[in-house]
Amino acid sequence: METEALLREMEQYAQAHHVPILNEGGRRVFAEIVRERRPHRILEVGTAIGYSALLALSRTDEGAVLMSLELSAERLAVARSFLGRSAYAAQVTLLEGDAGTLLAGLAAQVTDPFDLVFLDAAKGQYPDYLAKSLPLLAREGVIVADNVLFRGYVRSEMRPPRRYRTIVKRLRQYLATVQAPPFATTVFERGDGLALTRRIYEET
């Protein structure tokens, strides 16, 4: 199926079934980052229905590969169905399980590092995902994290609702980490906040 038509179908499915995917502002920024970076190996934490996986593969160089981690078996089945209808089906590896556990295991299994890591799973786990993703990241690779401003609460002085306090606290921790050496981070405010992080290396 033609990629753009399939992406539109996935957007409609996500809206109808209340599945969180990149919103319009976020997807534009994400697509721009992928076009500019041209990653050959991509690691995604949080598959949902496979929307961002398809978007990434359709915006980078031909032959790129993507590995995606998802906790929900139900969502993974939907992702397999959608991605199986795409031109990129053979370029995607989907793994089911807890992302923190899977990331820790990948460190001992993956021999080729990833050029881009995309975080879009449990927001309260971003600091853990960051720590476990770094050993998997290529020297010049980048980490992109979605929803880092979380409905405006992360940068607001107002106290967030009780159910969001841990998430907001962890996202603030995440941003504090990636906005200080040895990292450099740009936060794009379109969408719900997309953070692009790279490592800084001292001149030798």
Domain assignment of residue 204, yes or no: no
Give me the pLDDT at residue 182, please: 96
Confidence of residue 1 (pLDDT cuts 50, 70, 90): low
CATH number of the structural domain spanning residue 115: 3.40.50.150
CA distance 161 to 171: 15
pLDDT score at 204: 54
- 33 inside domain: yes
Question: Which whole-number Å values give the CA distances from 55 to 1, 52, 99, 161, 164, in the listed order?
Answer: 14, 5, 21, 33, 29
User: Predicted confidence band at 20 (pLDDT cuts at 50, 70, 90)?
Assistant: very high
Q: Is the pLDDT of residue 190 over 90?
A: no
Phi and psi at residue 175, to the nearest 5°? -65, -40
Condensed to tens digits (0 to 9), the pLDDT of residues 38-53 reads: 999 999 999 999 999 9
Q: For residues 40 and 61, give the distance between their C-alpha atoms in angstroms, rounded to a whole number.
A: 7
User: In the chain, how many domains are there?
Assistant: 1
Q: Which of 72, 39, 80 is nearest to 56 (CA)?
A: 39
- Which amino acid does the sequence have at 45? V
What is the per-residue pLDDT across 65-110, written as a single tens digit (0 to 9) for each?
999 999 999 999 999 999 999 999 999 999 999 999 999 999 888 8
How far is the C-alpha of 123 from the C-alpha of 165, rounded, in Å? Answer: 11
Is 78 a domain residue? Answer: yes
Q: How many residues belong to the chain? A: 204
Domain coverage including residue 173: 3-199
100: left (phi over 0), alpha (psi -120 to 50) or beta: alpha
| Strand pairing report for 114-119 and 137-146 | parallel
Express each pLDDT in 128-168 by its tens digit: 999 999 999 999 999 999 999 998 888 888 888 888 899 99
pLDDT for residue 192 = 85
Largest CA distance in the chain: 54
